């Protein structure tokens, strides 16, 4: 599996929520065309439209009790579109494991989480593909997801 992108100035709608009572990330509004997810870390996924393989947002279980507090520098990024390319077409309604060993880091000062490698290189491609959700690509491989969220008790 690898990833591609196209930078383009975009005006995003929605925002990423952290739902305290569910210990989960949820993008609102959730794209109803999502058909599969790429699992990054134990349970958080990149949500994908199966027909186009466009990555539209992230969601999933990610308990704060597992987060590692870390002072981090938010990478410079450009907005655009992100696509996943699979060796075989993904099953609709399923999930594809990408990396089970990724940790979630949290920087309380800048209110960002980073799932994966929080260290970026000058040659990395940093693409905001949903409001305050950034994919970090290195040679077509996803190395991290950065996200800023709003914390809520429950979803309505």
Q: Is the pTM of this model over 0.75?
A: yes
Cα distances (angstroms) measured from residue 46 to each of 56, 121, 126: 8, 22, 15
Give the pLDDT score at 36. Answer: 76
Average pLDDT for runs of 10 along the chain of length 156:
95 94 93 80 86 92 95 97 88 77 94 96 97 97 96 85
Cα distances (angstroms) measured from residue 129 to each of 3, 116, 124: 12, 17, 15
Give the pLDDT score at 128. Answer: 98
DSSP-derived 3-state class of residue 21: helix
Give the pLDDT score at 38. Answer: 79
Give the pLDDT score at 7. Answer: 97
Domain that residue 95 falls in: 2-152
In degrees and rounded to multiples of 5, residue 27 shows phi and psi of: -95, 125
Closest CA to 125 of 116, 136, 115, 133: 136
Give the pLDDT score at 152. Answer: 92
Looking at the 3D structure of the chain, how many domains does it have? 1
**For residues 107 and 156, what is the distance between their CA atoms, to the nearest angstrom?**
27
Give the pLDDT score at 154. Answer: 87
């Amino acid at each position: 599996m690898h990833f591609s992108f196209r930078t383009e100035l975009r005006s995003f709608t929605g925002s990423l929520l952290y739902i305290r009572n569910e210990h989960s990330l949820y993008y609102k509004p959730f794209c109803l065309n999502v058909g599969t997810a790429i699992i990054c870390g134990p349970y958080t996924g990149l949500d994908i439209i199966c027909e186009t393989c466009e990555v539209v947002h992230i969601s999933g279980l990610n308990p704060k009790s597992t987060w590692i507090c870390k002072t981090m520098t938010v990478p410079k990024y450009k907005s655009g579109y992100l696509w996943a390319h699979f060796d075989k077409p993904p099953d609709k309604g399923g999930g594809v494991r990408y990396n089970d060993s990724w940790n979630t880091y949290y920087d309380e000062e800048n209110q960002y989480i980073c799932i994966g490698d929080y260290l970026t290189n000058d040659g990395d491609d940093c693409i905001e593909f949903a409001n305050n959700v950034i994919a970090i690509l290195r040679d077509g491989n996803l190395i991290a997801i950065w996200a800023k969220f709003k914390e809520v008790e429950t979803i309505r």
